[in-house]
Amino acid sequence: MHRGTFDNEEETGYYESFRLSKSIQQALHEEFMPSAKKSSTSKQGQIKRLEALINASKILNSTLDLEKLLALILDLATKNLKAARGTIYLIDPERKELWSKVLKGKDLVEIRLPVGTGISGHVAKTGKTINLKDAWKDKRFFSGFDLRTGFQTKTMLCMPMRDRKGKIIGVFQILNKHDGTFTKEDENFLEAFSVHAALAIENARLHQDIVEKERIEKELEIAGAIQRRLLPKQLPALPGYEIDAVARPSKNVGGDYYDLIMLSDGKYALVIADVSGKGVPAALLVSTLHASLHAYIDTATNLAQLVRRLNVVVHSDTEAERFITLFMAVLDPSDGTLTYVNAGHNFPFILRTEQSSIHPLLSTGLPLGMFDSVEFEQETVTLAPSEYLVLYTDGVTEAMNKSMDEYGEKRLRQVMIGSSDKSASGFMGGIVADVEKFVAGEPQSDDLTMMVLKRVS
């Protein structure tokens, strides 16, 4: 029997509440057998009901799967009340609806109705039990189901299901007593049974939450491993240049990517990208970009053609709402020539130290993956000795402090000007330190990624 794993006293309490203590059994005896003057036959009937309740509470502890549990609860309720069929509705508090899953052919389909609608909705809203001898005579009864299926609802017992705090979490709807109408004893049994059913549902939901949390954590762990493998373990040395980079995901896993690739002709490709979304989907999309880039980069006739091919791959492999912003430049280290293409990414900066001026590279195009056929333009600039190329993602400029103010491009420019005499590593470190100072310990709102290239000779 699988009982799940619980990490604290409150969670353990959900499980322990299934055990029928002597005090609970005594209370049930008093409820079902209030008078010693009852007939022997009546007492025997009540004892059978009590035994059925105890056995039912044990059966409810046999699964933590919510769908299986609801089927068990309904089966136990209908059998013990000697009814033809029934439905268990659970309350969705956010949408203020009752929902249940019913068989349609061989498939389970979800049905929903607003709280307050129909007899079950009325019970959910008022918390009052409804016991009908003829459901069709009640104006709240929805006859459409009977008319569509051919089933004829006669008697009905509809009762709220409450959790340990007395909050209504669902509704029992039991139909068509095999022999006569639902009695007060039926109501007493269903009320007592509903306590254990509600606790079982709470326990299953808690287990479901734990399983989901573990699944997400595992997903993030996998995605983080994927992302770490894709980033360069070590940036290659470029004679006459300094280069450094940093990638800090806002959570366990980010959607940012950078790379430095040595080409067959002695040139270098510098890449920075930002994938929409987070988690495993974003990490897999980065993986697609990384693989395609490394496969095509040495065979492309020019940079614009390469980015067009990458766009086709990303568009065909992703959902409509996902895309990648990307900046790629090819550096000829012999003369500092930079040929670049920008696919919707933040404008990189060239810091010209002699003039203490900053020049954004303004040529841009659409992000990758938005459309299947997109043309990109490439531009060329030259990086002179002592000048910097600064690539970054919006996690830098959009970093927020406690007042929800953004770090902003203006402050970034100021720090860049003030760091113009530093190495590439010191330059980048100064920016990162200033961003940290600005946010003052507030959690990152987005991934922070930077690459800084300085020509030293």
Same fold: 83-181 with 221-455: no
> What are the domain boundaries of the chain?
1-81+184-211, 83-181, 221-455
Query: Residue 4 is encoded by which pair of tokens?
Result: 């799940």
Does pLDDT of 242 surpass 60? yes
CA distances from 129 to 119, 192, 296, 374 (A): 10, 13, 70, 64
pLDDT of the residue at 379: 96
The larger pLDDT score, comparing residue 392 to residue 224, is at 392
Does pLDDT of 222 surpass 60? yes
**pLDDT band per the 50, 70, 90 thresholds, residue 58:** low
pLDDT of the residue at 19: 41
**Least confident window among 26-35, 39-48, 324-333, 394-403:** 26-35
pLDDT of the residue at 390: 98
Does pLDDT of 25 surpass 70? no
pLDDT of the residue at 32: 47
Tell me how crowded residue 281 is: count the other CB atoms within 10 A of its CB: 17
Does pLDDT of 304 surpass 80? yes
Find the mean pLDDT for residues 385-397: 96
Which residues lie below 8 Å from residue 4, measured CB to CB, with a gap of 6+?
15, 64, 203, 206, 207, 210
Q: What is the mean pLDDT of the chain?
A: 83
Find the mean pLDDT for residues 174-199: 88
pLDDT, one tens digit per residue, over 125-172 is 999 999 999 989 888 887 777 777 778 889 999 999 888 788 898 999
Does pLDDT of 333 surpass 50? yes
pLDDT of the residue at 305: 94
Query: Residue 69 is encoded by which pair of tokens?
Result: 């549990």
Does pLDDT of 340 surpass 60? yes
Does pLDDT of 23 surpass 50? no
**pLDDT band per the 50, 70, 90 thresholds, residue 287:** confident
The larger pLDDT score, comparing residue 177 to residue 28, is at 177
Report, in angstroms and rounded to the nearest whole number, the Rg of the chain calculated over CA atoms.
33
Strand order in the sheet with 168-177: 107-114, 97-104, 83-92, 168-177, 156-162, 130-132
CATH 3.30.70.940 fits 83-181, yes or no: no
**CA–CA separation, 288 and 250 (whole Å):** 21
pLDDT of the residue at 256: 87
**Least confident window among 204-208, 226-230, 309-313:** 226-230
Strand partners, 104: 107
**CA–CA separation, 247 and 245 (whole Å):** 7
**CA–CA separation, 383 and 387 (whole Å):** 6
**CA–CA separation, 430 and 244 (whole Å):** 12
| CATH code, 221-455 | 3.60.40.10
Which residues lie below 8 Å from residue 105, measured CB to CB, with a gap of 6+?
none
